[in-house]
């Protein structure tokens, strides 16, 4: 469902993107080329700051927002998801938040008030809250990163994780093309 927010903003969705009919895209959302938005995802840009303004939620080209993902923002803060990134099933991305290019966010992860650098991976059931992560950073499953976490305690990023992330992106681009073709059959 594509709908306006109370401020009257409508999503802007590239014609090459695929948005599942069960997903909800509301308000000041910009979705770029070849993006896959899976079933029951919710991307909602509707809160404003003290001045009545809001930044957009932006989903970069070739990225995928999988089943049940929620993307929202506190008080109109920006949320940006870079190009070729994957937000896996049932994750929550709550702004302010910036996710770089070629990033993998694992199942059920929660990100809030943070930045995740390019070519990083946050594995399943992890929480990143109030701490910025550099490029090529790896967060193991069920980790909890907060403002006082010592990032030097974390293992280095493995090349195989980048390869896995790219394979997920490519699989979802194929899904975009397949589902777009099916839309013409109904």
Provide φ and ψ at 134, rounded to 5°: -75, 175
Q: Residue 63 corresponds to which tokens in the numbers above?
A: 């990225």
Query: Could you read off the pLDDT of 69-88 as tens digits, one per residue?
Result: 999 999 999 999 999 999 99
Q: What is the CATH number of the domain that holds 176?
A: 2.160.10.10
Kindly state the helix (H) or strand (E) to which residue 169 belongs, with its residue range: helix 159-183
**Mean pLDDT for the chain?**
95
When pLDDT is averaged across residues 164-178 and rounded to a whole number, the result is 89
Q: Write out the residue range of the structural domain in which residue 129 sits.
A: 2-183
Share of the chain above pLDDT 90, in %: 85
- The answer to whether residue 55 is catalytic is no
Of the pLDDT bands very low, low, confident and very high (cuts 50, 70, 90), residue 59 is very high
Residue 156 CB neighbours (<10 A)? 8
**Residue 162: pLDDT over 90:** no
Provide φ and ψ at 93, rounded to 5°: -115, 115
Q: What domain count does the chain have?
A: 1
**Residue 94: pLDDT over 70:** yes
What local confidence, expressed as pLDDT, does residue 185 receive?
58
């Amino acid at each position: 469902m594509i709908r306006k927010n109370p401020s009257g903003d409508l999503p802007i969705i590239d014609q090459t993107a695929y948005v599942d009919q069960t997903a909800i895209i509301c308000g000041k959302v910009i979705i770029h080329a070849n993006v896959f938005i899976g079933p029951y995802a919710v991307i909602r840009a509707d809160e404003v700051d003290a001045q009545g303004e809001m930044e957009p939620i932006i989903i970069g080209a070739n990225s995928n927002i999988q089943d049940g993902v929620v993307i929202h923002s506190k008080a109109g803060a920006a949320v940006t998801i870079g190009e070729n990134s994957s937000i896996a099933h049932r994750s929550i991305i709550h702004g302010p938040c910036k996710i770089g290019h070629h990033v993998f966010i694992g199942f059920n992860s929660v990100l809030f008030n943070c930045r995740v650098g390019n070519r990083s991976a946050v594995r399943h059931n992890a929480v990143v809250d109030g701490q910025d992560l550099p490029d090529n950073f790896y967060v193991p499953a069920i980790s909890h990163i907060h403002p006082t976490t010592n990032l030097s305690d974390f293992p280095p990023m493995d090349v195989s994780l980048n390869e896995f992330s790219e394979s997920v992106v490519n699989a979802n681009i194929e899904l975009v093309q397949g589902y777009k073709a099916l839309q013409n059959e109904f």
